Structure 1
Amino acid sequence: MSKRATVVVDLQNEYLPTGKLALSGIEQTLANAARIIADTRSNGDPVIHIRHEFTDPDAPFFVPGTDGVRIHSSVAPQEGEPVIVKNYPNSFLKSELKQVLDEKGIEELVIVGAMSHMCIDATTRAASDFGYKPTVIHDACATRDLEFRGQTVSAAQVHAALMSALEFAYATIVTTDEYLAK
């Protein structure tokens, strides 16, 4: 077994058009993430699923016990794959993610999921800070339009800004096809 794992961050029903926090291009993100997961499994490397859930039942989204917190069926965990529930954008914060990775001797992380500007950003930076070597599959990540002081920033711009910042100092950024061609 290699020292690489794929971390699937928050690919949950809440991000679908039927959810409370629809993301731009989520269908293609799910399709690309499924390809990365299949490749990971075929190589015998671990797949670790992260599921965001707020502890407050009055939260505006990711409410415990709802369909929105379920991991989408196209990227669902297989038997034996860990599912780590988190309550913060950073998948490492107050979770057992680091312990699971260290127990498996993981050194490299392949990161896919949502949202680019929150949980992917926070998790990737933390992974780098902990000494892991992260690779983000940017077309297997999604985000949404944001607003800043009355100005709408398109999802494409948000995604590009975050990926360029991560590539500058924290991670290798590649497409699904580039990653699978290696």
Structure 2
Amino acid sequence: MSRRALIVIDVQNEYVTGNLPIEYPDVNESLANIGLAIDAANAHGVPVVVVQNFAPSTSPLFARGSAAAELHDVVANRPRAHYVEKSMPSAFTGTDLAGWLAAREIDTIVVAGYMTHNCDDSTVKHAVHAGLSVEFLSDATGAVPYENRAGRASAEEIHRVFSVVMQSRFAAVLTTAEWIAALDTGAAPVRENIFTSNQKARAGAAAR
């Protein structure tokens, strides 16, 4: 059996009522699923780690001391085993997270929270490089759209593509309901790899 910890990343008002509203999946859906995941983790003895991001007080996002930087009630009002404050995308960088997990012999982290393509992705890859297994709750996370000199991508495109890439190598991607069922049954989540993911895509393209 895996020894898991649920890492709930940056579920802060900035993503709900602030300057960086999550667009896909719908933020109310992801918030509800984050709450379900925390409740299930607590019920199954899976420690919950809450991560909160802060920027300087002059920043347009996550300004320390602002209401937008505060934890959303769905996280703030639920029990947790550990709290991590960060200022970089990865929840491991400049924090005690790695040591805290190692001291408890945790070998698998479960990532929920925001954003799919930034702090979630950075934390997932940091964990894999450190030798941990990862599970990613795709409907308890979310993305925003971007446009810059490199191009434009919708929130749905970003979330979908990052989820597909994670499943190809870095994490087992599950819905919250699938993850809770795995906790109940002890079933191992489906993991895939780069080769089979590419083979499926090539076979599908050829069939069309």
Q: What TM-score comes out, normalization by structure 2 length?
A: 0.82
Give the secondary-structure state (helix, strand or coil) at the position aligned to 1:21: coil
Deviation at 1:150, TM superposition (A): 7.2
RMSD: 1.6
The aligned counterpart of 2:162 is 162
Larger radius of gyration: 2
The answer to whether the 8 Å contact 1:26/1:142 transfers is yes
Q: Say which is worse superposed, 31-40 or 2-11, in terms of deviation.
A: 2-11
Deviation at 1:149, TM superposition (A): 2.7
The aligned counterpart of 1:41 is 42
Deviation at 1:148, TM superposition (A): 3.8
Q: Does 1:28 align with 2:54?
A: no
Percent identity, aligned pairs only, is 29
The aligned counterpart of 1:66 is 66
Structure 2 unaligned blocks of 5 or more: 183-208
Quick one: which amino acid aligns to residue 105 of structure 2? Answer: G
The aligned counterpart of 1:99 is 99
In structure 2, how many angstroms separate the alpha carbons of the residues matched to 1:28 and 1:21? 17
**1:106-125 alignment, distance < 5 Å:** 106-125=106-125
Give the secondary-structure state (helix, strand or coil) at the position aligned to 1:58: coil
CA deviation vs aligned residue, 1:157-176 (integer Å, no higher than 9, x gap): 00011111111111100111
Residues paired across the two proteins, number: 180
Deviation at 1:103, TM superposition (A): 1.5
Change (3 A) 1:2 1:41: farther
Deviation at 1:99, TM superposition (A): 1.2
The answer to whether the 8 Å contact 1:135/1:171 transfers is yes
Give the secondary-structure state (helix, strand or coil) at the position aligned to 1:124: helix
Deviation at 1:178, TM superposition (A): 1.4
Deviation beyond 4 Å, 4+ runs, structure 1:
77-80
Q: What TM-score comes out, normalization by structure 1 length?
A: 0.93
The aligned counterpart of 1:13 is 13
The answer to whether the 8 Å contact 2:48/2:80 transfers is no
Give the secondary-structure state (helix, strand or coil) at the position aligned to 2:68: helix
The aligned counterpart of 1:76 is 76
Deviation at 1:19, TM superposition (A): 0.7
Structure 1 unaligned blocks of 5 or more: none
In structure 1, how many angstroms separate the alpha carbons of the residues matched to 2:162 and 2:2? 28
Give the secondary-structure state (helix, strand or coil) at the position aligned to 1:112: strand
The answer to whether the 8 Å contact 1:117/1:158 transfers is yes
The answer to whether the 8 Å contact 2:22/2:143 transfers is yes
